[in-house]
Structure 1
Amino acid sequence: MTGHTETPLTFREIFNLPVSVDLKTAARAFGMCRGTAYRLIALGTFPCETVRVGGRHRVLTVELLRALGIEERPVFADEIAEGVALTLFD
């Protein structure tokens, strides 16, 4: 245990993720450190599928959202105020 804990991702950060994320970001989404994520991958029990790219693990954001039980992206009040949400439904 390193004693270094990452701050979990907020809902807004999760919904603004790119198509795929590194293992550190995926681990933060689950509220765990990167070391725990590597151990779970080695045990085959990481909460979602990872993809090896070179020597690194990547996680598809769609798989991450599914593992977190998120079916659809919510609309935030400030997005409605800014007109951003309107483009989501056009």
Structure 2
Amino acid sequence: MTRNELLALPASVDLVTAGRAFGVGRTTAYTLARSGEFPCAVIRAGKAYRVITADLLRVLQITPENSEAAGGPAPAASSERTTEPA
């Protein structure tokens, strides 16, 4: 998943989506969740597993502030103005 996709996630996601963020498949995600070894906190809601997106982003060290940093610093706006000769 890209940073933009991760930042666009809702407040909580299903275990498969969280697993995709970590690069693991469905079976591995469920195995890790059942054993308590999933990389971030997992909430059991009945038979479903949910992951709080804020915790997922924290573990992946993704914040809105650093989301643009992956491509390097953004170019500074130029303060120079060009004028045409009169």
- Above 0.5 in TM-score? yes
SS in 2 for 1:64: helix
Point out where structure 1 has 5 or more consecutive residues left out of the alignment. 1-8, 77-90
* SS of corresponding position for 2:23: coil
Which residue, out of 2, 6, 14, partners 1:10?
A: 2
Percentage of matched positions with identical amino acids: 49
Residue identity matched to 2:53: T
Q: Indicate the structure with greater helix content.
A: 1
- The higher relative CO (CA closer than 8 Å, separation ≥ 6) is in 2
Higher Rg of the two aligned structures: 2
Q: Stretches of 4+ moved more than 2 A in 1?
A: none
Q: Counterpart of 2:37 in 1: which secondary structure?
A: coil
- Aligned mates of 1:67, 1:35 — CA distance in 2: 21
Please report the TM-score for the alignment, with normalisation by the length of structure 2. 0.71
1:48 pairs, out of 40, 45, 52, with: 40
Q: How many pairs align? A: 67
- Deviations 1:14-60 (Å, cap 9, x if unpaired)? 01000000011100000110110111112211000111112100000
Q: Which residue is 2:17 aligned to?
A: 25
Is 1:37 the counterpart of 2:49? The answer is no
Aligned-residue offset at 1:10: 1.1
